[in-house]
Copies of this chain bind each other. A is one copy, B any other.
Amino acid sequence: MDKKSKSLSKNQKIVLDFIQKNKKPVKAYSILSNVQKKGINAPPQVYRALDKLIEIGKIHRVESQNSFVACKISNCNTPHKTVFSICNSCEIVSEINDPKLFKNLKDFRDKDGTVFDGYNLEFFGTCKSCKNKQIENTKH
């Protein structure tokens, strides 16, 4: 049996389930208030589950937002190698899956030749939907 498929604990399942239901990244305290009915009462219970889920790659942390999002890349078990696009307007986050970019990042060495274990890349811009809305608004 695959080591990575070891089953999740109760709290880990509850937290993961809530994150996966959301299209947008969610905040820790929003998770907390939404899962209190399921018996999770205090911040440490949420943060522990988050830590574990990040460690096994099921979710990622969006650093610039202090928020958490489900991994969209199937069978991803590589935490800490993440690329996101973030809309400055609606704050929606998409995980980017671009082989060429991944290769560039994987192969990157600094001046010392240091190899890196991981990376986090966040692109900022205006998503298509928000851009269209802006154009609509200028028409009036």
A residues at B contact (CB < 8 Å): 63-64, 80, 85, 88, 94, 96, 98, 101, 104-105, 108, 110, 112, 114-128
Interface of A is mostly: mixed
Oligomeric state, in copies: 2
Q: Please determine whether B108 and A128 come into contact, CB atoms closer than 8 angstroms.
A: no
Shortest CB distance A72–B (Å): 13
Q: Which residue of B lies closest to A62 (CB)?
A: B63
Question: Which of B63, B101, B114, B125 contacts A114 (CB under 8 A)?
Answer: B125
Chain B nearest CB from A132 CB (Å) reads 11
Enumerate 15 A-B pairs (CB-CB under 8 Å) in ascending A order.
A63-B120, A63-B122, A64-B120, A80-B124, A85-B114, A96-B110, A98-B108, A101-B108, A108-B123, A110-B123, A114-B126, A114-B128, A117-B126, A118-B125, A120-B122
